[in-house]
A and B are shown apart, each in its own frame.
Chain A
Amino acid sequence: MRLPRWFHLLGSPPFVYGLAGRLVPWLRAIAIVLLLVGAYWGLAVAPPDRVQGEVYRILFLHPQVAYISMMAYVVMAVSAGIGFIWRIKLAHAVAVTAAPIGTTFTACALATGAIWGRPTWGTFWQWTDPRIMSETLLLFLFLGYLALRAAFDDRDKADRVSAILAVVGVVNVPIIHYSVIWWNSLHQGPSFMKLDKPSIAPEMLTPFLIMIAAFTVCFYWLLLNGLRGQIVERERDTRWVKQLVGGREA
């Protein structure tokens, strides 16, 4: 089976480095524009909520950040898996770059969730909320991945071992999520569940979606930007990197 040319190019570090370099300024610009538009729309233009008042405006920040954190884990697990199975170093580089970004998004999701929880539920933390627990466990999975990587001196071993962990984690995330939902259903009635998924009024839907797009672009901007650094670091002994850096040949 002859693979298309772009497939091979995607495995070439100098090509990806160049491509990412060209994409990053665009992604950055789009992300900033979308963030500003979405933020303005969500904070200033959209009307206050009937039930929650002004506090609800975290709706334009928290779910998006949480959604991106889960997407980051999937990106990390899929690229780590690809790197493991087909032995593509660049895929491992993507996973390594995605991990700290995902961890930060997860931490932000938990923080914004707590900030939202205080005025709405009266408490910063709610053990019975399935999404808090899933997100917390996701944070631990990210931290475990980073800790495991850090424990290995040999980068190649670190890549492959953490890839196995990432893939096992991705299988577990839905299991954990549904376990906690079931557990929660025993403690609170279904009414609590409905509170989790409010139907969004159309005036709020647009900024909601804009912010999702904004954070998605933001994630990929950060990912491609970090990826370039990873590539240079991993390939620092090759000729093309040495030429790039402009140093003298050793």
Chain B
Amino acid sequence: MSAFGAIVRRDVRVALRRLSEAANPLLFFVIVATLFPLALSPNADELREVGVGVLWVSTLLSSLLALEGLFRADADDGSLEQLMLSPVPISVTVVAKIAAHWLMTILPLIALVPVLALSYSMPLAALPTMIGALLLATPTLSVLTALGAALTVSLRRGGTIVGLLVLPLTAPLLIFGTRATDFGLHDEPAAGPLYLLAAFAAFALALGPLAIGAALRVGVE
């Protein structure tokens, strides 16, 4: 357990010292969410309709940006191979890194969602469900993106294909997340999709690190 905490603290500390890098995905999120009304329509009713989808897709894309290089820095300076040789199981390292990056980049993003949702004329009442759905869906999203990052860790220009690899796998998250938010928007019970998102998260966190560890072992060779 102390190793898990040490890795999380280390990654958070490194991220804090490169704050501009951590902020990029956040800025990207805000910019994308701001561009959509320009491209679609400033009409409040229409915006409300598309707001849910836009915010979810923007979250997906920003998360991709934030995590596609999750392992690259560690691979480049050799600390990844050191962690792989250490007594710490690779799964623990993987979950610790994902947790650290979720805290540093995804959580602030989720905190920004209410502000953007209001700009899309979404009623306040819808927000709790949306935040809840995001909190449940983003761990799975992080695991899937981390898998993409691990598969491409040894590639110089790996970032470009991580999206192609990861986004198709995130379709269920998008489906259930937006439905849950829509239910919340229309005051219907959203328990069903929320439970499914939670199930996905449990499944992803249990099995994802195994695949990610295997990919890292190949990547580090």
| Residues in chain A within 8 A of chain B (CB atoms) | 84, 133, 137, 140-141, 143-144, 147-148, 151-152, 157, 160-161, 164-165, 167-169, 172, 175-176, 179-180, 182-183, 186
Contacts and interface: CB of A to CB of B under 8 A. Distances in A.
B131 to A, nearest CB: 22
Interface stretch (B42-50, B51-59, B76-84, B153-161): B153-161
Given A133-B171, A164-B214, 8 more contacts: A143-B164, A144-B168, A148-B151, A151-B152, A157-B218, A161-B151, A165-B151, A169-B169
Interface in B162-221: 164-165, 167-169, 171-172, 175-176, 179, 200, 211, 214-215, 218-219, 221
B218 A183 contact: no
A157 B217 CA distance: 10
Interface size class of B (residues with CB under 8 A): 20 to 34
13 contacts: A140-B167, A143-B164, A144-B161, A144-B165, A152-B154, A157-B154, A161-B219, A164-B211, A165-B151, A165-B165, A175-B172, A175-B200, A182-B175
A140 B168 contact: yes
For B175, B176, B211, B219, the residue with the greatest tally of chain A CB atoms inside 10 Å of its CB is B175
At the interface, is chain A mostly helix, strand, loop or mixed? helix
Contacts of B157: 151
Contacts of B179: 183, 186
Contacts, number: 68
A160 B218 contact: yes
B155 A151 contact: yes
A103 to B, nearest CB: 13
A165 B176 CA distance: 23
A161 B215 contact: yes
B136 interface: no
Contacts of B141: none
Nearest first, the 3 A-B pairs at minimum CB distance are A179-B172, A140-B168, A144-B165
For A84, A133, A168, the residue with the greatest tally of chain B CB atoms inside 10 Å of its CB is A168
B147 A168 contact: yes
A183 B175 contact: yes
Given A137-B168, A147-B161, A168 B211 contact: yes
Contact of B158 (A143, A151, A175): A151
Contact of B168 (A141, A151, A180): A141
A157 B154 CA distance: 10
Contacts of A167: 211
Contacts of A164: 147, 151, 211, 214-215, 218
A165 B168 CA distance: 12
Contacts of A165: 151, 165
Nearest to A150: B161
Contacts of B221: 157
Contacts of B175: 179-180, 182-183
Given A147-B161, A148-B161, A168-B147, A179 B171 contact: yes
Nearest to A139: B168
Nearest to B168: A140
B188 to A, nearest CB: 11
For B152, B161, B165, B179, the residue with the greatest tally of chain A CB atoms inside 10 Å of its CB is B165
